[in-house]
Amino acid sequence: MESPISEIQNWMESKAGQTFLIRKEEDGDLDQIHLQLDKIAIGEQKSVDPDGYVAPKTLLFHGQGTINNGQPLPQNVYEIPLSGSWVSNEQGNELQIKTERAVYTIQSF
């Protein structure tokens, strides 16, 4: 059986080259980016962050994108930190990732 991270990675890789709308809802705020996906990677923290600021695992979406205000995505990468408990749910062209801090909805076009 695949891990949830592998399932997310496989879903995203199956749609490489497509454009994505990524919405992040956190504490009543809504942020959106548009991203032309080149690749997805998994970032792993090598040592425990004693202050808890850095997530042990991070989904890294590489590609050119723009933020809500039309500004380019910094460093052509968008990160979703995976710390604590989190779940993902795929439905066709939409993937939702719920973490302890935010809900991410990813739609492919």
Q: Model confidence over 51-60: pLDDT tens digits?
A: 656 567 889 9
The residue behind tokens 């956190």 is 26
On the question of pLDDT at 1 being above 50, the answer is no
pLDDT above 80 for 82? yes
Beta bridge partners of 96: 89, 105
Q: Is the dihedral of CA 52, 77, 71, 103 positive or negative?
A: negative
pLDDT of residue 9: 82
Return the closest-CA partner of residue 66 out of 81, 49, 55, 78.
Answer: 78
Q: Domains along the chain?
A: 4-108 (2.70.180)
Task: Report which of 15, 3, 20, 5 is spatially closest to residue 55, judged by C-alpha positions.
Answer: 5
Q: CA–CA separation, 23 vs 32, rounded Å?
A: 4
DSSP state letter for 76 = G
Could you tell me the pLDDT band of residue 2, with boundaries at 50, 70 and 90? low
pLDDT, average across residues 23-40 = 93
pTM score, whole prediction: 0.84
pLDDT of res. 91: 87
